[in-house]
Amino acid sequence: MFEPPNSTLPSASVGCVQTQLAKIQLPAQGFELECGESLAELTIAYEAYGTLSPAADNTVFICHALTGDAHAAGYYERSDTEQGWWDAMIGPGKGIDTDFYYVLCANVLGGCKGTTGPTSLDPATGRAYGAHFPRVSTRDMVRAHRLLLEHLGIDKVNAVIGGSFGGMQVLEWITLFPGTVERAICIASGSSLSAQALAFDVVGRHAIMSDPHWYNGNYLDTGTIPEQGLARARQIGHITYLSQEMIDRKFGREKSEKGSVFEVERYLQYKGERFIKRFDANSYLRIMEAMDSFDLVERYGSLQKAFAEVRAKVLVVALSSDWLFPAEQSVELTSALVGCEKKVSYCRLDAPHGHDAFLVDIEQLAVAVRAFLPWVDPKPRANGVKECSSIMEKRTLDDSALIACTVSRGARVLDLGCGDGELLALLRESNAVTGVGVDIDIQNIIKVIDRGLEALHADIDGGLAMIADGAYQYAILSQTLPAVKEPRLVLREMVRVAKMGIVAFTNRGHWRCRLDLLWHGKMPKELRATDRWYDTMDIHPFTLGDFYELCREEQIEIVEVIAIADGALDRALTRMRFLNLGANRALVKVRAFRN
C-alpha cells in the first residue's frame, strides 16, 4: 500500500511551463455541435506536466471550472507572482504526483485562453466570432478534449478530475466515453445546477447584457468591452464561491481607512477589476450557458440510466461549507452510482472556505486524491485464510476470519463502521468480494480508499439513505453495534439494504463477566474493548440474550448463531446450548423477517 512520504505535502513545482496549441484535424463537415452548427476549425490550448510513459498509460486529465484555463500548475516566468490555479495539487510529491503521472489540462471549447471561442477568428469572415460564436454544450467541450487526447496519441486516461463545472465535465466523460476513463474524481459538483445557482447566473448574464458597451455582443467591433457588466457578473458569481463563515471572518463589517466603504465591497471590486483584464464577456456567457444547461436527468431520464454504462471507478467529494453545490447533490450522485452497482466512494471534507475550498483547502483533498489514484494493483491475492469445514473449527477463529468463512465468494458486501478497511481488504483477498465500507471518520475513509477499496463517508446512526433496498448481499457490523447511538435504526437499515446481515459482538452475558461483576464489581479485561474500561468506545454493551430480544422486537429473523467459546468450560456450555452463558463472542446472521 502506498503511503505519502510526509503528513504535509511538498511545495515542489512543475517549474516553468508553456501553453501549447493543438490544431485538430477535422472531417469535411467540421466539428459538429449539439446546437446543429459546426466549426470549420478547432484549436485547443493545453498544458502538460510530467512525462508520458512509453505505453501512454499514465495520463491524468484535469477539467477546469467556469473561469479557469489550461494553466493549472507551474509558472510562465520565474518572476511570476502567481502560479497555475491548482499548483498546490499538481506537482512532484503532491496530490497528483507528476513523478508518476502525465497531467494534462486544456482550455474548454468557447474559452478565451487559446481554444477556439468567441475571440477566435472565424475562417468564413476573417474577423472574430464575437456574438456569432455558436452555442456550445458541456458534451461539446468533452468531445473536443477527447479529440485532443487522440491528437496526442492517448487512447485512455488513468483519471479525469475536476471541481465545480469541471466536475460536470467529469460526469460527461464517464457517461459519454465509458471505455476511455479508468477513474474519475468529481469534486463539489452535481448532475445539474440548483434553481438558486441558476438565479445567480441569470442576474450575472443580465448585468453583462445591460452594460452600455455590450452592443448586442459585438463590442469587439467597437474596440470596447462591457467592463462594468462583466465586473458585476464576476462579483455576483464570486459571492457564491465563499461561505458565510469565511466572509465574516475575513471582512465582517469592517470599513476602509476612510470609513466610507466596507472591506468586503473593496474585495469584490478588486475581483471584478482583475477579471475584466483576463476574460472575455462572450466566452463567459457561452461557458456559463453550457454549465446552466447541463442536466443528466433531462438528457437520460434518470441518473440510474445516465450511469448505467459507467465503467470508471468514481470518487465523489463534497465540501462541508459549499452552498453553491451542497453536499446533498454529491450524495445524490453517489446514491445513483451505488444503485447501479458501480465502484464509487464518497467523502465530505471539512472545508470552511465554501465552494472555492477545492482550490484553497488543499491538504486534505490532496491526500484523498493521492489515495484514490492507482498507485498499486489492487487485485485479490492469497492470504492464507483458514478454510472452515465445521462449526467447531469456525469457533476457533477471530472475528475477521470467521466472517470471511461466512461470506460467499464474489459477493457484494457493505461493511458498516469499516474502520481502516482491514476486514474489507481481507474479504477482497480471500473471497474476491466487491466491498464498500461506511465510516464517520474521514481519515478511515481515506485509508480504505488507499487500499484500493470503495468507501462512503457517512454516519450510520443517521441511516443509509444513499443506499437502495437490497443493494448488497451482505451487510456487516463487526464489533460496531455496541458503539452506535441508534442500534435499532442501524439494524433496521442493515436488513433493508442487504439480503443478509452479519453482526459480530462481544457477549456481555458470558459466565466470567457475570462472575466478575458479582465478586469484584468490575468488567473483566478479556471482555473489554481496551485494557481500561474508560477508554472503550462501547456505548451499548449487551448480551446475546439482549440481541435476541431486540431482533424479536424489530421483527428481524435470526438465521444462524455462531458462538465463539475460548475455554473448555465455555465449549461445554455452548454444546449444551447455553450460548448466552458460554459464548465469549458471537456472530449472528440476520435478515428481514419473511412472512
Q: Is 57 a catalytic residue?
A: no
Cα distance between residue 210 and residue 412, in whole Å: 56
Please name the amino acid found at residue 393. Answer: E
Collapsed DSSP state (helix, strand, coil) of residue 569: helix
Collapsed DSSP state (helix, strand, coil) of residue 442: helix
β strands within 294-423, DSSP E: 313-319, 344-349, 412-416
Q: Is 322 a catalytic residue?
A: yes
- Nearest to 339, CA basis, from 362, 310, 360, 365: 310
Q: Is 71 a catalytic residue?
A: no
Secondary structure, 3-state, 22-89: EECCCCCCCEECCCCCEECCCEEEEEEECCCCCCCCCEEEEECCCCCCCCCCCECCCCCCCCCCCCCC
Task: From the candidates 164, 330, 430, 478, give the one annotated as an active-site residue.
Answer: 164
- Phi, psi at residue 243, to the nearest 5°? -95, 155
Q: Could you tell me the CA-to-CA distances from 525 to 118, 529, 534, 558 in Å, in that order? A: 73, 8, 12, 29
| Contact (Cβ atoms closer than 8 angstroms) between residue 193 and residue 168 | no
Task: From the candidates 71, 145, 355, 457, give the one annotated as an active-site residue.
Answer: 355
Cα distance between residue 145 and residue 112, in whole Å: 16
351 torsion bin: left (phi>0), alpha (psi -120 to 50), beta (else): beta
Cell 461549507 belongs to 321
Task: From the candidates 140, 201, 322, 450, give the one annotated as an active-site residue.
Answer: 322
Collapsed DSSP state (helix, strand, coil) of residue 553: helix
Other Cβ atoms within 10 Å of 384 Cβ, number: 6
Q: Which of the residues are catalytic?
A: 164, 322, 355
